Amino acid sequence: MRLLFLFISVLCISCSSVLKEEKTIDYFINRNILWFDATANFDRFCVKDSIVYYLKKSKDAGVTDVVVDVKPITGEVLYPSKIAPVMTSWGESKVKKDLSWDMLTVFIEEGQKLGLKVHASTNVFVAGHNYFDRGVVYSDTAKAAWQTMSYLPEGFKLITEQKNKYSAMINPALPEVQAYELSILKELVGLYPKLDGIILDRVRFDNLNADFSPKSKALFEKHLGKEITDFPVDIFSFKGKERIDGPLFNDWLQWRATIIHDFILEARNEIKEINPNIVFGDYTGSWYPLYYDVGVNFASKDYDPSLDFPWANKAYKNTGYAEYLDLFTTGNYYFEVEKSELLQQADTTEKTLESGLVVKKEDWYTVEGSAELVNKVTMGKVPVYAGLYVEQYKEHPEQFIKALKMCRSKSQGAMVFDIVHIINYGWWEQLAEGLKK
Residue by residue, what is the 3-state secondary structure of the chain?
CHHHHHHHHHHHHHHHHHHHHHHHHHHHCCEEEEEECCCCCCCHHHCHHHHHHHHHHHHHCCCCEEEEEEECCCCCECCCCCCCCECCCCCCCCCCCCCCCCHHHHHHHHHHHCCCEEEEEEECCEEEECCCCECHHHHCHHHHCCECEEEECCEEEEHHHCCCCCEEEECCCCHHHHHHHHHHHHHHHHHCCCCCEEEEECCCCCCCCCCCCHHHHHHHHHHHCCCCCCCCCCCEEEECCEEEECCCHHHHHHHHHHHHHHHHHHHHHHHHHHCCCCEEEEEEECCHHHHHHHCCCCCCCCCCHHHCCCCCCHHHHHHCCHHHCCEEEEECCCCCCCHHHHHHCCCCEEECCCCCCEEECCHHHCHHHHHHHHHHHHCCCCCEEEEEEHHHHCCCHHHHHHHHHHHHHHCCEEEEECHHHHHHHCCHHHHHHHHCC
What's the mean pLDDT when you consider all of the chain? 93
- φ and ψ at 416, to 5 degrees? -120, 125
pLDDT at 343: 80
Against a cut of 0.85, is the pTM above it?
yes
pLDDT of residue 354: 56
Rounded distance, CA 347 to CA 58, Å? 38
Q: Distance between CA 394 and CA 414 in Å, rounded?
A: 18
Compute the average pLDDT of residues 411-430: 98
Q: Give yes or no for residue 4 having a pLDDT over 90.
A: no
Euclidean distance between CA atoms 215 and 101, whole angstroms: 42
Burial 354-379 (b: 16+ CB within 10 A, else e): ebbbebebeebbbbbbbbbbbeebbe
Q: What is the pLDDT of residues 77-122, one digit of tens each?
A: 999 999 999 999 999 999 999 999 999 999 999 999 999 999 999 9
Q: Tell me how far the alpha carbon of residue 362 is from its chain's centroid.
A: 23
First to last CA, the chain: 51
CA distance 145 to 74: 15
pLDDT at 13: 43
Pairing of strands 236-239, 327-331: unpaired
Q: How far apart are CA 357 and CA 370, in angstroms?
A: 18
CA atoms within 13 A on the CB side of 394: 7
Domains of the chain (ranges; CATH) run: 2-316 (3.20.20)
| Averaged pLDDT for residues 402-413 | 98
Question: Averaged over 380-388, what is the pLDDT?
Answer: 97
Burial class of residue 123, CB neighbours in 10 A (0-12, 13-18, 19+): buried
pLDDT digits (tens, 9 = 90+) for 65-78: 999 999 999 999 99
> pLDDT tens digit string along 5-17?
343 344 444 444 4
Q: Which residue has the higher pLDDT, 398 or 11?
A: 398
In this prediction, residue 27 carries a pLDDT of 79
**Confidence grade of residue 360 (pLDDT, cut at 50, 70, 90):** confident
